[in-house]
Amino acid sequence: MKKHFVILALASVMAIPAWGQRNFQASTDTFEESATAGQWLDAPGAQAALPAGKKAKNVIVIIGDGMGTAQVYASVVAQRGLSNFLRFPFSGFSRTFSNNRYTTDSGAGGTAIVTGHKTDNNHIGVLADGTPVKSILSMAHEWGLSTGFVVTSSVLDATPASTYAHVPYRKMFDTISLHMSQCGFDVMIGGGLSNFRPENRKDGLNPLDTLLKNGYEITYSLEEMKKSRSDKLVTFFCENYYGPVAPGRDPVLVEGTKKALDILAKNPKGFVMMIEGSQIDWGCHNNDAAYMEAELADFEKMLKAVLDFAEKDGNTLVVVTADHETGGLVLKGGDIEKGRNECKYITDGHSGVMVPVFAYGPGAETFSGIQNNIDLMPKMLKAMGRKSTIK
């Protein structure tokens, strides 16, 4: 079995220019069937070459909050080599500094990734001087594509908010929730219900009513979300923030992603979607390696669902990156066979190191090398065959 796998893997590398999506998928299928723990460690990496000039109909941008290179390798080891990160044919690095800080926060980091603009820390969807800037999701919505996001934090948290809100301070939840209720995205899934309740707001407004008036079905649990037949869906899984995935959080990341893909993929024009593994950051802030690894394992399941979709679809660009690294994580040692990492954190905050970028699908090759975080969004536009208006 092992020999079979090696031959297939080599064949896929040697045939880069000629091998298309379908051949890649065929080899991957066999690969998965025959691979046992540890085998993927020796894999040369998936080498899916797509026909030059093919446009991306769909774009899925995935943000692992706080997910630096060490976090990714911790996941590769924890999965004993059977990591979905190894399925990406192209990878590079992203420089994460913000407009006013060597080390970014998630507001400026998220804004840079989805709008293509540097801004000051704590800002969301605005330049340092307060000028609003549009995200690739907002643009796609205006072009008639479907749009949505799935997160494991509140829907109002900095990372998702940078896709639809425009505020100078990330904790302006009353304003952010109003912006969300009016953004027009098709699917929005996460926590954060309490800020939508009029009794919890200073302005007394009711953005839940606005969402209903704007045609959304609002669901409040995983079961309700799965049962929904609506093509405009908001799901609140909790009042504020979810707990960690271990123990006990529902599989909201992977199930929310699958539900969103079901809805968004119906649009013949395509879709743009953002998915965030929000709590990798929180585990690292806590210097809690078990928390971090559980969130990464959850992230892996979501990645599998996304890559399986993209492989089947053939027209979907998938870009995975982080807004910044958290914890200054060092992997001092470990055991690859047992899937064990020896983690040491040097800070309970963010660090300024470059973070990895992984890409799959049409245009994926443009994400190689060292790039700035604000380069990612124009590259996504280019992959879609759209002109970037970013200076």
Residues assigned a catalytic role: 106
How many residues lie near Zn ion (CB under 5 A)?
1
**Residue 300 structure tokens:** 């892996």
Find the length of the chain. Answer: 391
Which CB sits closer to Zn ion, 16 or 330? 330
Which CB sits closer to Mg ion, 12 or 287? 287
Q: How far is the CB of 72 from Zn ion (least distance, A)?
A: 17
Question: At residue 201, what is the residue type?
Answer: R
Q: Could you tell me the CA-to-CA distances from 12 to 15, 21, 32, 166, 358 in Å, in that order? A: 5, 11, 14, 45, 19
CB count, 10 Å around CB of 330?
A: 12
Q: How far is the CB of 151 from Mg ion (least distance, A)?
A: 7
Burial 57-75 (b: 16+ CB within 10 A, else e): bbbbbbbbbbbbbbbbbbb
Question: At residue 108, what is the residue type?
Answer: A
**Residues making contact with Mg ion (CB under 5 A):** 65, 106, 159, 278
Q: How far is the CB of 65 from Zn ion (least distance, A)?
A: 6
Are 272 and 302 spatial neighbours (Cβ–Cβ below 8 Å)?
A: no
Give every CB contact of residue 234 below 8 A, 6+ residues apart in sequence: 155, 187, 188, 189, 211, 216, 217, 218, 219
Which CB sits closer to Mg ion, 228 or 278? 278
Which CB sits closer to Zn ion, 174 or 281? 281
User: Angle formed by the axes of helices 289-313 and 252-264, to 10°?
Assistant: 20
The option from Mg ion, Zn ion, none interacting with 186 (CB < 5 to 8 A, set by class) reads none
The option from Mg ion, Zn ion, none interacting with 235 (CB < 5 to 8 A, set by class) reads none
Stretch that binds Zn ion, among 37-45, 170-178, 232-240, 276-284 (CB under 5 A): 276-284
Asked whether position 281 contacts Zn ion by CB under 5 A, the answer is yes
Residue that the structure tokens 């870009």 belong to: 319
Q: How far is the CB of 324 from Zn ion (least distance, A)?
A: 7
Which CB sits closer to Zn ion, 281 or 293? 281
Which CB sits closer to Mg ion, 91 or 106? 106
**Residue 29 structure tokens:** 């299928």
The option from Zn ion, Mg ion, none interacting with 96 (CB < 5 to 8 A, set by class) reads none
Q: How far is the CB of 195 from Zn ion (least distance, A)?
A: 20
Q: Could you tell me the CA-to-CA distances from 174 to 101, 188, 192, 207 in Å, in that order? A: 26, 17, 11, 9
The option from Mg ion, Zn ion, none interacting with 373 (CB < 5 to 8 A, set by class) reads none
Asked whether position 300 contacts Zn ion by CB under 5 A, the answer is no
Stretch that binds Zn ion, among 150-158, 275-283, 286-294, 362-370 (CB under 5 A): 275-283
**Residue 269 structure tokens:** 């024009």
CA distance 147 to 184: 8
Phi, psi angles (nearest 5°) of residue 227: -75, -20
Stretch that binds Zn ion, among 120-128, 231-239, 280-288, 314-322 (CB under 5 A): 280-288
CA distance 281 to 50: 33
Q: How far is the CB of 120 from Zn ion (least distance, A)?
A: 16
The option from Zn ion, Mg ion, none interacting with 174 (CB < 5 to 8 A, set by class) reads none
The option from Mg ion, Zn ion, none interacting with 146 (CB < 5 to 8 A, set by class) reads none
Q: Site residues (CB under 5 A) for Zn ion?
A: 281
